[in-house]
Amino acid sequence: MNAPLSRLPRLFIISSGFEHLDSAGLSLRQAAAIKDSGPVMFQLREKGLDAARLLSLAARLRAELEPSGSLLLVNERADIALAAGAEGVHLPESCCPVATIRSAFPGLLAGQSVHSVKAARDAGKSGVDYLLFGPVFATPSKERYGPPQGLDELEQVCEAVAVPVYAVGGITPERSYACIERGAWGVAAISPFLDPGSMPSTIETFRSFLPS
Amino acid sequence: MTLPHRFLCVITDDIHNPVELAQMALAGGARMLQLRRKSASGRELFEWAVRIQELCRAHEALFIVNDRVDIAIAMKADGVHLGQEDLPAAAARAMLGPDAILGVSASNVDEAVKAREDGADYIGLGHIFPTRSKDKPVPPLGTAAIGEVRKAVGLPVVAIGGIDPENVTEVMKAGASGIAVISAVAGAQNPSAAARHLVQRIWQ
């Protein structure tokens, strides 16, 4: 389903990456916690899980996310996304050519992570529905991508592409507004959402800094 | 697409360049190439897959992708091979359509029967002999399992695990339609010669 781009949710939640380490179904508890929180983008990014377990988790998440109208994106694996009934696939920068994924899986939304203005420009031309750009701010989980890119780079990326851009890396509710000012469509994060108990209020706080 | 008769399938290893390995394996008479490298990025796998597929076409061999149904569909491989921890075979078959080759790993009759019900075209049965490729939690099946599985499911059985030129004859006599190897070709000094030797033994 290709939702109108202007209507993609502004808040983009990325799963913990800990599902393979006895996290007792954290992503399912996260999904259950946001039932009444309105739509978000939810990326299932669990590189430690094999495909069989990813599919079964994705299918259960799809059901849990239904009431909030959230969109489920499966990291990298369009096959698992399709089999699970997810709305889309989120591609890493080093992935199959986006155009081939688009034509092979026409029913899926396709987004991509990019880490430079050039990569963003290339991805923007390849037919993605949205981009995730970062790390905008310093963040331990993205240290391998080098120093933070900063708001100026974010602004350049947003100017360079016509698709919605989500800022990622060190995102807090307070920093969200600065990202939007620089042209981001929304913001993405892992760590603010690791406690399902506080998720509804965290999401509400984020929303207060984001356009409706 | 149909499987060849009495064939060698060469699976890429985690060390050597998969395209170069494929080239040498095909020159040695392999009729099926399987691209498998769990640590590779999607882009690497896609690029290798496109080039190996071209080589396979030129040699009239089949090209299948391990685990990554998305990549197989995106670059139009001949098929996929799935382990028990990969996507369920039925889900893969639904996405691949009826013409793609679907192989499923099994280590007993129950898994093989399930694989057939889910749309598998062949069973990758193993490990037949002791193998160093992976630490295996179960003892080797032995060649008698090949006949049992073949009889139970009626699908071609491709034997895998510790197969070498010395035991190929026993494997084929037991009812295998083909053999699949990783290190016996990928780890050989001369992969072409190693493949050729195995192919000769398959037909003896």
* Contact flag A105-B85 (C-beta cutoff 8 Å): no
Q: Give mean pLDDT, residues A135-161.
A: 87
Output the pLDDT for position A152.
97
User: Does B2 fall in a domain?
Assistant: no
CATH number at residue B56: 3.20.20.70
Chain A, nearest residue to B39 by Cα = A47
| A58–B contact, CB cutoff 8 A | no
pLDDT over threshold 90, residue B132: no
The pLDDT tens digits of the residues spanning A15-58 come to: 999 888 876 789 999 999 999 898 999 999 999 999 999 999 99
Q: Residue A113: which domain range?
A: 6-208
pLDDT of residue B136: 63
Write out the catalytic residue numbers of B.
36, 105, 134
Residue A128 has pLDDT above 50, yes or no: yes
Overall number of domains in chain B:
1
Q: Tell me if B126 is assigned to some domain.
A: yes
- Considering only CB atoms, A96 lies closest to which of B70, B86, B87, namely B70
Q: How confident is the model at residue A8 (pLDDT cuts 50, 70, 90)?
A: very high
Q: How confident is the model at residue A140, as a pLDDT?
A: 73
Q: How many CA atoms lie within 13 A of B33 on its CB side?
A: 34
Overall domain count for chain A = 1
Identify the CA nearest to B77 among candidates B67, B89, B63.
B63
Range of the domain at B77: 7-203
Size of interface A-B (CB pairs under 8 A): 69
Residue B86 included in any domain? yes
Asked whether residue B178 is assigned to any structural domain, the reply reads: yes
**C-alpha distance from B180 to closest chain A C-alpha (Å):** 22
User: CATH number of the domain that A175 lies in?
Assistant: 3.20.20.70
pLDDT tens profile B4-30: 999 999 999 999 999 999 999 999 999
pTM: 0.94
Does the CB of A96 have a partner CB in chain B at under 8 Å? Answer: yes
Per-residue confidence (pLDDT) for residue A147, from 0 to 100: 84
Residue B86 in contact with partner chain A when CB distance is under 8 A: yes
Mean pLDDT to the nearest integer, B83-109: 97
Q: Does B193 touch chain A (CB under 8 A)?
A: no
- In this prediction, residue B40 carries a pLDDT of 96
ipTM score of the complex?
Answer: 0.94
Q: Is residue A1 part of a domain?
A: no
